[in-house]
């Protein structure tokens, strides 16, 4: 008997631009469970908490870097997989060490 097909919905992606609109990044709309999802969410929560503790808006951060706002929102929500340079830019803009975001 042949194996049953996986009837899950296909993975859907949407496009967003990275820093300074230089290239397009694919962000999963319904990311599959992977071991890094929870860690990305924890980092995103730390970024959001640090930003709010310093009384900064998302708009202030994305204008200072510069970065697409929807991409930044995806980082805070744990849906995006930012580069090290992006995390360094965010940490510097908020005014905290990178280690505080990834601890």
- For residue 54, being part of any structural domain is answered with yes
Task: Give the whole-angstrom CA distance, residue 19 versus residue 72.
Answer: 10
pTM: 0.69
- For residue 77, being part of any structural domain is answered with yes
CA of 63: how far to CAs of 48, 72, 93, in Å?
A: 16, 11, 10
Beta strands at 24-28 and 13-17: parallel, antiparallel or unpaired: antiparallel
- For residue 82, being part of any structural domain is answered with yes
pLDDT reported for residue 35: 76
62: domain range? Answer: 35-102
Q: pLDDT 10s digit of each residue in the chain, 103 long?
A: 444 444 454 455 555 655 555 555 556 555 556 778 889 999 999 999 999 999 999 999 999 998 899 999 999 999 898 999 999 999 999 999 999 988 8
- For residue 39, being part of any structural domain is answered with yes
Three-state DSSP state, 60: helix
Structure tokens at 22: 């230089």
Number of domains in the chain: 1
- For residue 29, being part of any structural domain is answered with no
Residue 51: CATH number of its domain: 1.10.260.40
């Amino acid at each position: 008997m042949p194996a049953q097909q996986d009837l899950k919905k296909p993975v859907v992606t949407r496009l967003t631009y990275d820093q300074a609109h230089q290239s397009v990044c694919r962000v999963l709309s319904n990311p599959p469970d992977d071991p890094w999802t929870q860690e990305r969410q924890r980092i995103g929560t730390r970024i959001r908490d640090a930003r709010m503790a310093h009384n900064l808006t998302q708009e202030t951060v994305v204008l200072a870097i510069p970065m697409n706002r929807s991409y930044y929102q995806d980082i805070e929500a744990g849906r995006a997989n930012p580069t090290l340079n992006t995390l360094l830019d965010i940490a510097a803009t908020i005014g905290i060490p990178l280690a505080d975001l990834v601890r």
